[in-house]
Structure 1
Amino acid sequence: MPKSQSPGTRRGLFSCLHSECDDGGNSGFQGKGIAEALEDLIASFYAEAFDRLPFDGMGDEQVQELLRAMCGGGVCVGLLDPVSNIILNTISALPRDFQPKPHPRHQRRSKRLAGAAQPDWILSGISSLSYCSLVTFLVSYFGCLTDQQAARYLLWASANLSIAVLLVEHDLYAAEPQLPNPASERTQAALKCAATRGRHREPDVLVLLHTSPLPCQRLKAAAPFLGSGGRNLTLDDVNTVIESLRYQESASLDLQVNLLPDRRGVIVYCREFNAYEGKLIFNTSSVNIGGSFGVFSIMAQREGDHFASLLGNVSSISTFLDKAFKTFQGHSGLKSCGDACEYTESLRMRLHGTIHALYLKAFTMLPSHVSTYRLMRYILFAGHCYGPMDPVSNIIINSIWHSIEFPLPSANSESQPYDILDTLSMLRVEARSLRGLIALVQANSGCSVQRTMEHLCSNCCDLSQAMHTPRGFAAAAKAAQHPQEAALGLFLSSLKPHILDKLRPLLSTTNGTLSFESLNQVECILAQEFREIALQFAFAPEEAELCQVAKDTLLIRRSEYKDLRLFIRSELAKVLKKYAREHPHEPKYVPSVICGVVETYYSDRDSYHVNFVAASESAGAADNQLFFAEINVPCHQSKPNFCRPLCLTHTGRCYYGPASSIKIMYPASFDYFECDITGRGIMHADRMLDADFVFDFRRDKQFAKDAVKYCEDQKALSELNAV
């Protein structure tokens, strides 16, 4: 369990110093506000970049062209140091036919008099845009920071995005803080968001510049003038960057395919790579798609590295920690942070993202068998993730135990999956699980909420190695509002080591999916070992009595659920067939369980964004796979429906806040970075939900009362809309 820590050794200093948590440091850095100090720092970088660019070697027209490029595209965003980013982005914003030409020697003049536009009065404007761009990158990249937090991290990192990312990951207890990977979709999407916010003329060009590989020879040529403390640029250096950008942009021409008129053949044009530039990879295989077909693939693979490789070694953050600790020692007013602290809220959202991924993992582990479909209801109702095992095993164990001892009324046909079409129902069990985890840690340690959440972040919510007490489990079940809190506390306390030793092998998997037989054995063990607990809390099944309005609402909600479920499932089957045609080397998938649907409105269409688990058509051939799908409403088919697999390794952008949330897991794409934050967050999760009618949670003692209140609210809302 977490030990007590002094503020000087705690994490979160980068976020809390000079914030509202810091009574002694509200004046900011050098007496300035954070935004003002950061903009002044960025302005100094522009002045240095201006001095290093070869303005004094160009003619008047080219000077003006370079100044326009700096104003329109020279944002301080990228994966190098800030000055190098400005230089690189400025040159990349020049026209493609730009050819730097030396100015006649007798007409050379001072850089500060270059052309009519003076840099001193335009620096403030582009510095402000770069400030917004840098903040946008961090907020987009992590998804759980405020703009003010991002600005503080950037100021600690001297506006270096790569270092700022390391500082945030350090504070959020990443297993191993990693620099932004130029090849990852997450980094590329955040760069495009930042470039767009900075009003860059061509955001895609900036992304291409920083994330496309270059041969080592080209990078070696750029190393002397790109990087912290690099030399002033010559006209030849400008040409070097322009040629590198042209090389990056030509990647689309590496392979070109023309279909012959008789459709009996194709002509493929392949770039002839030099040994240091790349290679062509040829592959031939046979697959069975309604018959035997040969698949021939040619892949152009460029060799090299990214401009970010010129940044040097910044993996150590000890220097920045020392600076923060020294600043703390000079401030006597850093308060103990509570729930209102931005850092505490970031930890909370990070944990919600982690817990959401744990539930998605649990869904992917369930076998596609009719007898396991009913378990979905119990996961949503009582499948909390705290207990003596790892979180995913706890979810499954707690759900199976509840299904044995406290069975719910049958709502649908047991042969049909219980698809989650209401994301708030999943949010509710996740939010309650977090409360239970916090209570479990605090019961055995007495730590603050913030320190407890730091402990949970550092362990990815896994408390299986901790020492637990019956008092701790009872406190967790009560804090989490478990429907059978006393029984659950006793059950978790009764999971002795010899029982856990029986359960662990059954809940471990080599291929990612549990077998139906293993779950059956788990159910048998729990039924045999805990008969006495069931007898202590046995009661006659009683369903909550509903008023007529609530009964009518139940029928309406079930009908709406059925219609939407049939539509989504039919469309998912279609997009999976389309995916199989486009990826013949992968298994053929069929929809298994839907675990989140969000209705989205674009300017040209209405769509549903869906997370779902798909199972291989061939039993045992592959793991279940989590997918994202975009399904357009039939009358708005301006864009084809599609699906793509998701990886559960990154959960940073799947979080929940008090009033807003990212309710499903999205691909790390710019297309979704701006639209994936939706209304109705945690504050709505404990109310009556549509899913409560659909899944028929009438065993809950609050169900009848909440159902009546829900119907009254819906009636009042309808009357208000009518007026």
Structure 2
Amino acid sequence: MALVPNPGDPALRIYGPRIYSGYPSPEEESESRSYLLHKIGSFYRKARRRLACRRGLQARGLCVGLLDPVSNVVINSTIVHHSRKRERWRDREDAPQEDLERRSLDGLVVFLTRMFPNLAEGLAVRYLRLAKADALIAACAVASDHGIKWFHDSEAAPSLINTALKCAGLAAGHPDAARLVCAWRNVSSRVDDTLSLLALLRESQSSPRRRSHVVRELASMVTEGPLAREVAMRCAWQLAEASLRRHPRSMPQPDNDLPNRTLQDTIHGYYLEALARLPAGPGFHRSLIRAGHCYGPLDPVSNIIVNTVWHHAAFPPSMKLEQNVIGTRSLHRMENRSLYGLVSFLCTRYHGFGFQRSVRCLLEADAILVLADPDLDPAAATIRHVQEAQNSPDTGLREAFLAAATAACHPNPDAQAKLLTSCKAMLGPTMSLLRPGRGKLSSQDVQRLARLLSPESTYDHDSEMALPPVSLKSYPLADLADLYSVVSKGVNVLLNKYRQMPNGDPSYELHTICGVNDRVGGPAQWPPHECGRCHVNFLATPKSPCGGKPTLFFTEIQSDGTYDSFCCPVALPPPCATQIRCVYCEAMGTRIVHPVAIDFRSRDSEFEMLAREKDPCQREEATLRIISHRRLMAENVHCKEKEDILYDGVDGHKNKFDNVSSLSVEEAMLLAPLCRYL
């Protein structure tokens, strides 16, 4: 990331997006593929020696699986040999050995790219070379370099591994990818027994009869009996993690931006929680979008609330919004700005820190600044478990917060730096209102906070309700109003049907809509699209009888007015965790939280269609298009969004509409390094 020149005050180290590629050169990728094919060939030779037990049994299975590559070949070969429908495999058995090795490599690459949303095929090849063609070791290294914690404990992990295996089988031309997945679920459920049988095959003194018996046992174990649960796949991941700890193979890259995405997803979770704690409705949306950064002297959620409430009180609106939908892309931009604010704070505070070291420190601290900087809060430093001992800070808090506010594009950096330096003293005993887990703030709570944070303000919640509404008649506000109307109507219809109280009334009422992707099914470069669906996150508050904290929901809405779809609660994403993937939400760059246990449009089918692509170059091109668009959204800190016009109206500004449908200069520059792939 770029260190922005700051001649006015060289002590402030302010970071922003920069032009970045990070993909291996064609020469490096070609060399790595040649190395991997040679390595895969050696795996097949070892597998043949282990299977030299009976006529007709050869190493003809793919090396895609959840154990080491040779064991994968052995297990997959036994599945082929003992299949009741051998005719489905004949065309593959007759294929040249070189074709089998190439298809195995294709499967290994897709296994990685299906599991991790920001991983291009070129980077997957690089990680596979690092792991000597062991796909699960490579996946553990990717997770480590992403900053993803406790992957095997993640609720989403079993499903991701399951579908990654299926896509790998499809990419490799496996004639029954679903059967491949079922077999490996059984292997993972009895991994100790499987490893014992494989060890017997490695023994050079074993007789052919003994080997044949072991192979039959192995085939029976993985192909017969009740299907193991999906969660069993965690066991294989734990084995790979243990192997990686014994032989570290992480690939440090000074310009690796994979951890940035994990940090942004973590920050997004804090914004969802902050929206749940703020009063319902769109009243605070403008101030959150303008100045609600997550850095400060408190926990991230409390920082968002303090920054939002202070800005709302110090710069009150002149009009009010009526649509209870926060601008999705504007919210993502605020999250991006918060990332650069956090990093600039640490780099200004400690001049020995660079961008990557700061990101790593923040990931270890779950983006909690008081844990990442032990000198920010001495009380927190006594329980911190992240930051290593280091020299005293190079600058004071005021300068560090000023650097953060400048990097994060705050509308009044000096005022925010002054606020954050003194807000704990200003709040005094009302700090208890911000205690994590306390629940939703009432209007009275917010008004109390506002008066302490901005004593000169005339903020009054009741008088604010009488403000005139923003007019939504002119273009492009009319388009936004139509979209928000469709989404709001669909959300309310589905929420009313979701669960009802004994008297027939809905159990939940809408709190706020906090994420919308109206392009599910298109338009996107890949896959071929059919318009008409939205993926939406919203917060809803229980109505029975004591109320409670708002719950996050996911819904899939048909935009043709039928609303023939569903909604379901989803957990707030834990910090630094992996999440369920959606090809269309990734293609649009939206951070929608999707359900783990419920199917939805573009969860698996589009990824499987992508994996079936017969021309690997087209598959790689499609993957890069999705990654590049996601990256454009993740690096946007300056570009104007269409939703911004709503918040301009709240400020009483004249509505202006920049041509945001075309690429801005900044976006075009960021995309430039990817052009050779597109």
| TM-score, normalised with respect to structure 2 | 0.71
Counterparts of 1:150 and 1:197, CA distance in 2: 14
Provide closer, same or farther for how the CA distance between residues 484 and 247 of structure 1 changes in structure 2, counting only shifts above 3 A: same
CA contact (8 A) 1:386 1:436 kept: yes
| Structure with larger Rg | 1
What is the aligned partner in structure 1 of residue 102 from structure 2?
A: 128
The number of residue pairs the alignment matches comes to: 562
CA contact (8 A) 2:80 2:86 kept: no
Q: Kindly provide the CA deviation profile for residues 430-450 of structure 1, in whole angstroms up to 9, marking residues without a partner as x.
A: 111112112111111122222
What is the aligned partner in structure 2 of residue 224 from structure 1?
A: 196
Provide closer, same or farther for how the CA distance between residues 75 and 592 of structure 1 changes in structure 2, counting only shifts above 3 A: farther
Please, which of 630, 633, 647 is the counterpart of residue 695 of structure 1? 647
Provide closer, same or farther for how the CA distance between residues 554 and 493 of structure 1 changes in structure 2, counting only shifts above 3 A: farther
Matched, 1:92 2:23: no
What is the aligned partner in structure 2 of residue 197 from structure 1?
A: 171
For residues 96-111 of structure 1, the aligned pairs below 5 Å read 96-97=83-84
Report the alpha carbon displacement of residue 569 of structure 1 after superposing the two structures with TM: 2.1
CA contact (8 A) 2:540 2:550 kept: yes
Provide closer, same or farther for how the CA distance between residues 613 and 517 of structure 1 changes in structure 2, counting only shifts above 3 A: same
For residues 48-63 of structure 1, the aligned pairs below 5 Å read 48-53=46-51, 57-58=54-55
Please, which of 130, 135, 150 is the counterpart of residue 156 of structure 1? 130
Matched, 1:632 2:544: no
What is the aligned partner in structure 2 of residue 168 from structure 1?
A: 142
Matched, 1:147 2:121: yes
Identity score, percent: 26
Matched, 1:568 2:487: yes
CA contact (8 A) 1:628 1:667 kept: yes
Q: Kindly provide the CA deviation profile for residues 5-37 of structure 1, in whole angstroms up to 9, marking residues without a partner as x.
A: xxxxxxxxxxxxxx9899xxx9979xx922221
Provide closer, same or farther for how the CA distance between residues 512 and 57 of structure 1 changes in structure 2, counting only shifts above 3 A: farther
Counterparts of 1:230 and 1:364, CA distance in 2: 57
Provide closer, same or farther for how the CA distance between residues 86 and 573 of structure 1 changes in structure 2, counting only shifts above 3 A: farther
One-letter amino acid of the counterpart of residue 215, structure 2: D
CA contact (8 A) 2:427 2:449 kept: no
CA contact (8 A) 2:645 2:657 kept: no
One-letter amino acid of the counterpart of residue 391, structure 1: P
Counterparts of 1:91 and 1:47, CA distance in 2: 16
Q: Kindly provide the CA deviation profile for residues 497-543 of structure 1, in whole angstroms up to 9, marking residues without a partner as x.
A: x4465354211244654455543432343234xx4xx79xxxxxxxx
For residues 4-403 of structure 1, the aligned pairs below 5 Å read 33-53=31-51, 57-58=54-55, 70=60, 74-93=61-80, 96-97=83-84, 122-176=96-150, 178=152, 184-211=158-185, 222-226=194-198, 230=202, 233-234=211-212, 237-238=215-216, 240-242=218-220, 244-249=222-227, 308=235, 314-315=241-242, 317-321=244-248, 337=254, 341=255, 343=256, 345-368=257-280, 373-403=282-312
CA contact (8 A) 1:477 1:485 kept: yes
Provide closer, same or farther for how the CA distance between residues 398 and 574 of structure 1 changes in structure 2, counting only shifts above 3 A: same
Q: Kindly provide the CA deviation profile for residues 202-246 of structure 1, in whole angstroms up to 9, marking residues without a partner as x.
A: 322222222358876xx6654433369745842563365246423
Please, which of 647, 652, 656 is the counterpart of residue 707 of structure 1? 656
Counterparts of 1:601 and 1:303, CA distance in 2: 28
| Contiguous gaps of at least 5 residues in structure 2 | 1-21, 377-396, 459-469, 501-505, 523-528, 608-625, 664-678
| Greater relative contact order (CA < 8 Å, ≥ 6 in sequence) | 2
What is the aligned partner in structure 2 of residue 474 from structure 1?
A: 402
Moved more, 466-475 or 130-139: 130-139
Q: Secondary structure at the match of 1:610?
A: strand
Report the alpha carbon displacement of residue 307 of structure 1 after superposing the two structures with TM: 9.4
Counterparts of 1:437 and 1:303, CA distance in 2: 38
| TM-score, normalised with respect to structure 1 | 0.67
Provide the aligned C-alpha RMSD in A: 4.4
Provide closer, same or farther for how the CA distance between residues 96 and 501 of structure 1 changes in structure 2, counting only shifts above 3 A: farther
One-letter amino acid of the counterpart of residue 434, structure 1: L
CA contact (8 A) 2:293 2:303 kept: yes
CA contact (8 A) 2:333 2:637 kept: yes
Provide closer, same or farther for how the CA distance between residues 304 and 215 of structure 1 changes in structure 2, counting only shifts above 3 A: farther
Counterparts of 1:144 and 1:310, CA distance in 2: 20
Q: Kindly provide the CA deviation profile for residues 326-367 of structure 1, in whole angstroms up to 9, marking residues without a partner as x.
A: xxxxxxxx9x93xxx2x2x11222222222222122223335
One-letter amino acid of the counterpart of residue 601, structure 1: G
Matched, 1:645 2:632: no
Provide closer, same or farther for how the CA distance between residues 401 and 130 of structure 1 changes in structure 2, counting only shifts above 3 A: same
Counterparts of 2:215 and 2:156, CA distance in 1: 23
Provide closer, same or farther for how the CA distance between residues 313 and 491 of structure 1 changes in structure 2, counting only shifts above 3 A: closer
Provide closer, same or farther for how the CA distance between residues 246 and 180 of structure 1 changes in structure 2, counting only shifts above 3 A: farther
What is the aligned partner in structure 2 of residue 616 from structure 1?
A: 542
Report the alpha carbon displacement of residue 711 of structure 1 after superposing the two structures with TM: 8.8
Counterparts of 1:303 and 1:454, CA distance in 2: 32
CA contact (8 A) 1:438 1:449 kept: yes
CA contact (8 A) 1:214 1:244 kept: no
CA contact (8 A) 1:632 1:641 kept: no
What is the aligned partner in structure 1 of residue 465 from structure 2?
A: none
Counterparts of 2:398 and 2:449, CA distance in 1: 22
Provide closer, same or farther for how the CA distance between residues 304 and 214 of structure 1 changes in structure 2, counting only shifts above 3 A: farther
Counterparts of 1:470 and 1:161, CA distance in 2: 47
Report the alpha carbon displacement of residue 391 of structure 1 after superposing the two structures with TM: 1.3
Please, which of 411, 416, 419 is the counterpart of residue 483 of structure 1? 411
What is the aligned partner in structure 2 of residue 681 from structure 1?
A: 633
